[in-house]
Amino acid sequence: MGRSNLLGGWGEALAAEYLRKKRYEIVASGYRCRFGEIDLICEEKGYLCFTEVKLRKSAAYGSAGSFVDFRKQNKLRATAQYYLSRRATVLQPRFDVIEIYAPYGLGTKFPKITRIENAF
C-alpha cells in the first residue's frame, strides 16, 4: 500500500469516527462501481449522505473542499445514482464533503475536521 493510500485510508477513518460522534450511521465506506468511488455513505436525520473526504496539509492552495471540482461532482452523482438504483430508500440523498487538515500527515495529533453539508 502506497503512502497516498495509507493517508487516504487514515483520513476516511478519521471522517467516519467524526461522523459517528455526530450520530451518523455509516452504511458503506469505499463504495466502488464502474462510475467511480464514494468514500463514505451514511444516514442522518432522514438523509442518505454521500460523503467525499478530502485530506490536505493546509489550505495554501485552496480549501480541501475546492478540490471536489465539477468533474468529480459528476462522478459522485453518477456513482450515487447507481447506488440508489441498486438499493431503494425513502431517505433524501445529499452530497457532503469532509475537509481534514493534517499539517504533519499521519503524525498530526489533532487534525482539523470540517463538515460541509449539502456541498453541491
Would you say 55 and 16 are in contact if contact means Cβ atoms under 8 Å apart?
A: no
Query: What φ, ψ does residue 54 adopt, rounded to 5°?
Result: -125, 120
Stated pTM of the model: 0.91
Query: What φ, ψ does residue 110 adopt, rounded to 5°?
Result: -130, 75
Would you say 9 and 55 are in contact if contact means Cβ atoms under 8 Å apart?
A: no
Q: Return the number of other C-beta atoms located less than 10 Å from residue 93's C-beta.
A: 15
Query: What φ, ψ does residue 33 adopt, rounded to 5°?
Result: -150, -175
pLDDT tens for each residue of 68-119 = 999 999 999 999 999 999 999 999 999 999 999 999 999 999 999 999 999 9
pLDDT tens for each residue of 48-69 = 999 999 999 888 778 888 889 9
Whole-number Å distance between alpha carbons of 77 and 110 = 31
Whole-number Å distance between alpha carbons of 55 and 29 = 16
Whole-number Å distance between alpha carbons of 48 and 43 = 5
